């Protein structure tokens, strides 16, 4: 596992049936993905004045039957990754390998084929269903787009899917407004399952739901994955939900990965100063636990002009001169745990002082 | 829940058997249906419950901001510093809302005026409630923005709301609320739209307020973690009723009401493994036009008895300060194990 992780950043050599990593367990591999949006100015004649670097060189692998959680503050590029992977955005640069093929090189027709295996569930269950469609029509629509429906099988397919997601067959003839938020999200999930995909991308699928309903959707997603070995990319603001469902977690900041690893590495032993701050900000549902909080000052800078060097340097409590000058590489620590910080070792060992604790002399030393 | 009104000097707010209904085309929405609680000076009282349980309507009733029609406070009372607000004329009420009770809502964008600069809005609020000169008001505005942690406060006074991020707007709302040194701050889902990092900043700010100025806070949220971290006492609401009320430790360590227990089991804890199923409360929150008979929670309750669909539970005080509204504790039915 760890040796393949090491290749993650660079190598695209030795392409095979299984994509660059040549690992049959990897279903989706993203290499150096970039998505820039043009920042336009002018009224009648729009011209591009700058790039919004929403995703700026992200690499990761998604394994069969596993969930990759994607976390980070608002605006760091999570949804942009989701939309780029599902062809709602065209990538600016980078490779997306799925089922042994680089998606950028495929024709429209081939892409449509691939799209069957790569589906998406959205945050707002009401907005993602067509209000004029019955549940049955919504669920069958993906099949119809791909001309895969056999009239005689329609009802049976819908019935099976409804039962799978914990609804009953009589829901087939209802319209979205006749369903609760939780039921609508179940229909959204049923719709994503229709084509029996390999990868399902879930962008904030439970954020709009109440706690009690949220619990049942999380149970459902875990159950479905255990039964069908789907791979999920799971995006959520609620970090305790991500912990519950994910095998691996990628922490993003301003369009880049800061840390990547197994869920326990990221939650129990975070190495990157940003991950540490993020985790420490999560309120614990236990009034007898008083936890030490790392105060993150200010907010995420704009992706139009991200800080040079380490992107986190404007808010990092361990910052040094080097951080303003050199961008840290994503380096591998034990067992596939990747961290992008110049001082990850020293911080872990507890030998790296906080920036506030440095005497002026030391800073001068640093700068020299 | 007959807490003695006159005796307890500490209570600055008493909500007593409040009923607020909405008379809609579809029928009468019994949004708040017999809610009783008190708020003491310098404490944070949490109001927790799923959406539609009546938290915001309770808050709006206290402020006398229920849109009428269709809404109306049907019965019960809200007593602010010994005086019933139901009898206070609107002009006086407006003064109380600006000076003594302040409110912060979930979406700061809708509560800020988009065509006025941030500085002007706060300045206006200060001048409305305090006899100060323009220069003094400006000075005070800057101090307030600094207090809520807006960097470069002096420069940013001239910005418009859209030039501020969500977290900064929420802090401006708190600055606005503070501009009158309120005795009570009602915060309705103040951090729901924010990142955890920014949420932490806003919560710190509120805690600081409470400690420095003895401000009382009603904190409305559906986030159990925020409740655990911030509150001294907690009221759990379900379908227009408070079903349990106690100090925060009791609510988390010895919850008695089946709904409170269910809520706590439904959130993933750090120790719960992936294979452990979360507790999912069956069904959905009921329609408040036609709520279930007897105990409103009975169709979803894991501990329901046959009588629960027939008898409306009373509220009992199990231990001093620990109130529960469930037939398992009221003595209204015989409990066989
Ligand atoms: N279509 C677009 N045009 C221009 N900029 C965009 C577009 N979509 C996203 N962006 C910008 O790209 C950056 C990343 O946005 P994205 O939606 O991916 O964030 P996110 O991580 O999903 O945030 P959130 O947690 O708020 O959903 C943001 O700065 C955003 O404003
Ligand atoms: N202006 C209104 N007209 C009709 N019904 C309303 C109005 N405001 C709130 N309600 C109803 O009152 C109930 C409680 O709502 P609310 O207090 O907003 O819940 P929450 O606990 O989510 O804050 C809901 O059933 C809601 O639909
Ligand atoms: S590289 Fe520097 S600024 Fe970036 S996270 Fe590490 S210590 Fe902080
Ligand atoms: S009264 Fe009955 S239904 Fe209601 S909470 Fe108690 S046990 Fe459950
Ligand atoms: Mg998003
Ligand atoms: Mg509300």
H or E, element range at A192 = helix A181-193
Which residues of A fall within a CB distance of 8 Å from B284? 180, 182, 213
Ligand 4 centroid from CA B60, angstroms: 28
Contact A263, A248 (CB under 8 A): yes
Distance of alpha carbon B186 from alpha carbon B216, whole angstroms: 9
Contact A249, A260 (CB under 8 A): yes
Name the DSSP class of A73: S
Q: What separation in angstroms does the CA of A31 have from each of A8, A54, A58, A97, A329?
A: 7, 16, 6, 8, 14
Chain B interface includes A214 (CB < 8 A): yes
Is the CB of A255 inside a 6 Å radius of any atom of ligand 1? no
Distance of alpha carbon A318 from alpha carbon A315, whole angstroms: 9
Residues paired with B83 in a beta bridge: B80
**Considering every ligand atom, which ligand is closest to the CA of B27?**
2
Instruction: Choose among B166, B196, B248: nearest Cβ to A239.
Output: B196
Inspect the interface and report whether the beta carbons of B197 and A218 lie closer than 8 Å. Answer: no
Within 10 Å of residue B303's Cβ, how many Cβ atoms? 14
Residues contacting residue B223 through CB under 8 Å, at least 6 positions apart: A283, B191, B192
Our separate counts of H helices and E strands in chain A read 14, 12
Using the predicted structure, report yes or no on whether residue B98 has a pLDDT greater than 80: no
Q: Describe the crossing of helices B196-213 and B166-178 by its angle, rounded to 10 degrees.
A: 10
Tens-of-pLDDT digits for all 368 residues of chain A? Answer: 344 444 443 344 444 456 777 788 999 999 999 999 988 777 777 777 788 899 999 999 999 999 999 999 988 999 999 999 988 888 999 999 998 888 888 888 888 888 889 988 887 777 788 999 999 999 998 888 877 778 888 889 899 899 888 888 888 999 998 887 888 989 999 998 888 899 999 998 888 788 888 898 899 999 999 999 999 999 998 899 999 999 999 999 999 999 999 999 999 999 999 999 999 999 999 999 988 889 887 778 888 889 999 999 999 999 999 999 999 999 999 888 999 999 999 999 999 999 888 866 565 555 54
Within 10 Å of residue B51's Cβ, how many Cβ atoms? 15
Strand B216-221 relative to strand B44-48, pairing: parallel
Our separate counts of H helices and E strands in chain B read 12, 12
Contact B43, B183 (CB under 8 A): no
pLDDT at site A357: 84
Taking a 5 Å cut-off on Cβ, the residues next to ion ligand 6 are: B 56
B54, two tokens: 């009546």
Residues contacting residue A361 through CB under 8 Å, at least 6 positions apart: none
Rounded mean pLDDT of B286-303?
A: 93
Residues paired with B184 in a beta bridge: B101, B216
Inspect the interface and report whether the beta carbons of A211 and B266 lie closer than 8 Å. Answer: yes
Chain A interface includes B75 (CB < 8 A): no
Distance of alpha carbon A223 from alpha carbon A226, whole angstroms: 5
pLDDT at site A146: 77
Is the CB of B240 inside a 6 Å radius of any atom of ligand 2? no
Question: What b/e readout covers B152-167, taking b as 16+ CB neighbours within 10 angstroms?
Answer: ebeebbebebeebbbb
A25, two tokens: 């367990």
Is the CB of B119 inside a 6 Å radius of any atom of ligand 2? no
Inspect the interface and report whether the beta carbons of A211 and B50 lie closer than 8 Å. Answer: yes
SS3 state at A194:
coil
A177, two tokens: 């407004």
Name the DSSP class of A301: P
pLDDT at site A2: 43
Positive or negative: CA dihedral B102, B105, B109, B114: negative
Ligand 6 centroid from CA B54, angstroms: 7
Chain A interface includes B263 (CB < 8 A): yes
Distance of alpha carbon B189 from alpha carbon B166, whole angstroms: 14
SS3 state at A50:
strand
pLDDT tens readout for residues B299-308: 999 999 999 9
Contact A285, B48 (CB under 8 A): no
B75, two tokens: 């019965």
Label each residue of B112-153 as H, E or C: CCCCCCHHHHHHHHHHHHCCCCHHHHHHHHHHHHHHCCCCCH
Positive or negative: CA dihedral A181, A184, A186, A192: negative
Contact B106, B76 (CB under 8 A): no
Contact B13, B47 (CB under 8 A): no
Residues contacting residue A150 through CB under 8 Å, at least 6 positions apart: none
Using the structure block, give the residue that is written with the tokens 């294979």: B275
Using the structure block, give the residue that is written with the tokens 């009588």: B307
Using the predicted structure, report yes or no on whether residue B334 has a pLDDT greater than 90: no
Distance of alpha carbon A154 from alpha carbon A285, whole angstroms: 46
Contact A41, A219 (CB under 8 A): no
pLDDT > 70 fraction of chain B, expressed in percent and rounded: 96
For the CA atoms of A85, A88, A93, A95, the dihedral, rounded to the nearest 10 degrees, stands at: 30
Contact B333, B312 (CB under 8 A): no
pLDDT tens readout for residues B63-77: 999 988 899 999 999
pLDDT at site B140: 87
Strand A199-203 relative to strand A231-235, pairing: parallel
Positive or negative: CA dihedral B259, B222, A268, A8: positive
pLDDT at site A256: 97
Using the structure block, give the residue that is written with the tokens 């002399």: A361
A253, two tokens: 């900041």
CB hemisphere CA count around B291 (13 angstroms): 22
Is the CB of A309 inside a 6 Å radius of any atom of ligand 3? no
Q: What is the secondary structure of B278-324 as a DSSP string?
A: PP--SS-PPPSSSPPSSSTTGGG-TT--GGGGTSPPPPEEEETTEEE
Burial, A351: exposed, middle or buried (Cβ in 10 Å; 0-12, 13-18, 19+)? exposed
Name the DSSP class of A302: P
Chain B interface includes A278 (CB < 8 A): yes
**Weakest mean pLDDT among A271-285, B198-212, B248-262:** B198-212
Inspect the interface and report whether the beta carbons of A215 and B224 lie closer than 8 Å. Answer: no
Ligand 4 centroid from CA B31, angstroms: 20
pTM of the model: 0.88
B12, two tokens: 């600055």
Q: What separation in angstroms does the CA of A221 have from each of A229, A234, A292, B189, B300?
A: 11, 10, 33, 28, 22
Number of A–B residue contacts, CB under 8 Å: 111
Inspect the interface and report whether the beta carbons of A288 and B199 lie closer than 8 Å. Answer: no
Is the CB of A77 inside a 6 Å radius of any atom of ligand 3? no
pLDDT at site A61: 94
Residues contacting residue B112 through CB under 8 Å, at least 6 positions apart: B118, B121, B161, B169, B172, B173
Is the CB of A352 inside a 6 Å radius of any atom of ligand 3? no
| ipTM for the complex shown | 0.84
């Amino acid at each position: 596992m760890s040796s393949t992780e090491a290749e993650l950043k660079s190598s695209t050599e030795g392409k095979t049936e299984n994509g660059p990593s040549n690992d049959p367990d990897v279903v989706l591999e993203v290499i150096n993905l970039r998505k820039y949006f043009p920042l336009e100015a002018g009224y009648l004649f729009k011209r591009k004045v700058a790039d919004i670097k929403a995703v700026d060189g992200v690499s990761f692998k998604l394994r069969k039957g596993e969930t990759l959680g994607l976390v980070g503050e608002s605006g760091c590029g999570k949804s942009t990754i989701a939309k780029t992977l599902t062809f709602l955005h065209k990538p600016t640069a980078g490779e997306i390998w799925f089922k042994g093929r680089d998606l950028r090189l495929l024709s429209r027709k081939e892409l449509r084929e691939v799209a069957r295996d790569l589906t998406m569930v959205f945050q707002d269950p009401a907005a993602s269903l067509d209000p004029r469609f019955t549940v049955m029509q919504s669920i069958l629509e993906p099949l119809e787009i791909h001309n895969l429906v056999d009239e005689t099988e329609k009802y049976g397919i819908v019935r099976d899917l409804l039962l799978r997601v914990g609804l009953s067959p009589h829901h087939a003839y209802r319209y979205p407004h006749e369903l609760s938020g939780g039921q609508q999200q179940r229909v959204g999930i049923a719709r994503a399952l229709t084509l029996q995909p390999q990868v399902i991308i879930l962008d904030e699928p439970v954020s709009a739901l109440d706690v009690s309903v949220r619990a049942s959707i999380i149970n459902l997603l875990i159950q479905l994955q255990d039964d069908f070995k789907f791979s999920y990319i799971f995006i959520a603001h609620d970090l305790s939900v991500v912990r519950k469902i994910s095998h691996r977690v990628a922490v993003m900041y301003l369009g880049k990965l800061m840390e990547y690893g197994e869920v326990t590495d990221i939650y129990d032993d975070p190495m990157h100063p940003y991950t540490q701050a993020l985790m420490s900000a999560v309120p614990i549902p236990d009034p007898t636990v008083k936890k030490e909080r790392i105060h993150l000052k200010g907010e995420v800078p704009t992706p139009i002009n991200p800080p040079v060097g380490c992107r986190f340097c404007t808010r990092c409590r361990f910052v040094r001169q080097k951080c303003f000058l050199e961008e840290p590489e994503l380096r591998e620590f034990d067992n596939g745990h990747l961290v992008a910080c110049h001082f990850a070792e020293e911080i872990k060992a507890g030998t790296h002082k906080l920036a506030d604790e440095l005497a002026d002399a030391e800073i001068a030393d640093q700068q020299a | 829940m007959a807490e003695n009104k006159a005796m307890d000097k500490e209570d600055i707010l008493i909500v007593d058997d409040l009923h607020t209904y909405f008379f809609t085309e579809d029928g009468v929405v019994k949004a708040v249906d017999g809610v009783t609680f008190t708020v003491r000076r310098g404490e944070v009282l949490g109001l927790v419950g799923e959406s539609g349980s009546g938290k915001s309507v309770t808050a709006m009733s206290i402020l006398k901001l229920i849109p009428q029609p269709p809404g109306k406070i049907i019965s019960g009372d809200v007593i602010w510093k010994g005086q019933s607000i139901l009898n206070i004329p609107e002009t006086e009420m407006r003064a109380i809302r600006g000076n003594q009770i302040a409110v912060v809502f979930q979406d700061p964008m809708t509560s800020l005026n988009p065509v006025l600069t941030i500085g002007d809005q706060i300045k206006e609020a200060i001048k409305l409630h305090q006899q100060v000169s323009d220069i003094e008001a400006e000075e005070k505005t800057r101090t307030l923005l600094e207090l809520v942690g807006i960097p470069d406060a002096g420069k940013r006074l001239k910005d418009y709301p859209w030039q501020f991020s969500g977290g900064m707007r929420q802090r401006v709302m708190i600055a606005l609320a503070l501009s009158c040194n309120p005795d009570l701050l009602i915060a309705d889902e103040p951090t729901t739209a924010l990142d955890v990092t920014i949420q932490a900043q806003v919560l710190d700010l509120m805690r600081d307020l409470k400690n420095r100025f003895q401000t009382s806070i009603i904190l409305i949220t559906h986030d159990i973690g925020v409740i655990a971290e911030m509150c001294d006492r907690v009221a759990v609401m379900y379908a227009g009723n408070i079903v349990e009320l106690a100090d925060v430790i009791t609510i988390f360590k010895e919850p008695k009401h089946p709904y409170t227990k269910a809520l706590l089991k439904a959130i993933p804890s750090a120790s719960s493994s992936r294979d452990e199923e979360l507790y999912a409360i069956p069904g959905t929150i009921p329609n408040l036009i036609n709520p279930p008979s007897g105990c409103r929670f009975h169709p979803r309750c894991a501990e329901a008895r046959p009588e629960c669909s027939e008898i409306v539970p009373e509220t009992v005080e199990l231990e001093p300060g620990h109130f529960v509204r469930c037939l398992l504790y009221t003595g209204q039915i015989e409990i066989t194990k």
